[in-house]
Amino acid sequence: MDGPRVLLGVSGGIGAYKAAALARGLVTAGATVDVVLTRGAREFVGAATFEGITGRPVRGEVWEGVADATHVELARAADVLVVYPATAHTLARLANGLADDLLTTAALVHRGPLVLAPAMHTEMWEHPATTANVATLRDRGALVVGPATGPLMGVDAGPGRLAEPDEVLTAIAAITTGAGDLAGRRVLVTAGGTREPIDPVRYLGNRSSGRMGFALAAAARARGAEVVLITGPSALMTPPGVERVDVTTAREMDAAVTDRAGGQDVVLMAAAVADFRPDAAHATKLRRGDGPPTVTLVANPDVLAGVVARRGAAARPLVVGFAAETGDLEAGARRKLAEKGVDLLVANDVAAAGVGFDTEENAVLVLHRDGPVRAVPRAAKAAVATAILDEVVTALGDPGRVGTSG
Ligand code: PMT
C-alpha of 217 from chain center: 6
Instruction: Give the mutation target among 304, 311, 328, 359 for probing the ligand 1 site: most ligand atoms within 8 A of CB.
Output: 304
Question: Which are the contacts of 365, defined by CB distance < 8 A and separation ≥ 6?
Answer: 329, 330, 333, 346, 347, 373, 374, 375, 376
Point out the domain boundary residue: 175, 206, 223.
175
Q: How far apart are CA 274 and CA 236, in angstroms?
A: 20
Q: What is the 3-state secondary structure (H, E, C) of 28-50?
A: HCCCEEEEEECHHHHHHCCHHHH
Q: Are residues 364 and 295 in the same domain?
A: yes
Question: Which residue's CA lies nearest to atom 13 of ligand 1?
Answer: 324
CB atoms within 10 A of CB 298: 10
Residues 307 and 168 in one domain: no
d(CA 264, CA 308): 12
- How much is the pLDDT for 399? 54
Query: What pLDDT was estimated at residue 404?
Result: 35
Dihedral, CA of residue 371, residue 214, residue 127 and residue 346, to nearest 10: -10
Ligand 1 lined by 212 (C-beta under 6 Å): yes
Which CATH number covers residue 262? Answer: 3.40.50.10300
Q: Are residues 38 and 106 in the same domain?
A: yes
User: pLDDT tens per residue, the chain (406 residues)?
Assistant: 458 999 999 999 999 999 999 999 999 989 999 999 999 999 999 999 999 999 999 988 877 777 777 788 899 999 999 999 999 999 999 999 999 999 999 999 999 999 999 999 999 999 999 999 999 998 888 999 999 988 888 888 889 999 999 999 988 988 887 778 998 999 999 999 999 999 999 999 999 999 999 999 989 988 889 999 999 999 888 887 899 999 999 999 999 999 999 899 999 999 999 999 999 999 999 999 999 999 999 999 999 999 999 999 898 999 999 999 998 999 999 999 999 999 999 999 999 999 999 999 999 999 999 888 999 999 888 889 999 999 999 999 865 544 333 2
Q: Is 215's C-beta closer than 6 angstroms to any atom of ligand 1? A: no
Q: What is the pLDDT of residue 398?
A: 63
Domain count, the chain: 2
From 123, 145, 175, the end of a domain falls on 175
**Interval between CA 186 and ligand 1 midpoint (Å):** 21
On whether residue 292 sits in a domain, the answer given is yes
What is the pLDDT at residue 198? 97
| Predicted local confidence at residue 273, as pLDDT | 98
Q: Indicate whether 84 and 105 sit together in one domain.
A: yes
Q: Could you tell me if 249 and 292 lie in one domain?
A: yes
Please state, in angstroms and rounded to a whole number, the distance separating the CA atoms of residues 105 and 380. 28
Whether residues 151 and 193 fall in one domain: no
In a domain, 228, yes or no: yes
Domain for residue 406, yes or no?
no
Q: Pick the last residue of a domain from 145, 175, 205.
A: 175
90 close to ligand 1 (CB < 6 Angstrom): no
Check pocket membership of 348 for ligand 1, CB cut-off 6 A: yes
Cα(246) to centroid(ligand 1), Å: 17
Q: Are residues 161 and 194 in the same domain?
A: no
**Residue 257 Cα to ligand 1 middle (Å):** 14
CA distance 96 to 111: 16
The verdict on whether 96 is a catalytic residue reads: no
Determine the distance separating the centroid of ligand 1 and the alpha carbon of 306, expressed in angstroms: 15
302 plus 232 within the same structural domain:
yes
Domain CATH for 16: 3.40.50.1950
- Read off the pTM: 0.82
Report helix angle 18-28 to 47-54, nearest 10.
10
| Ligand 1 atom with minimal separation from the 359 CA | 3
pLDDT the model gives residue 402: 44
| Residue ranges making up the domain that contains 117 | 5-175
Write down the pLDDT at residue 72.
86
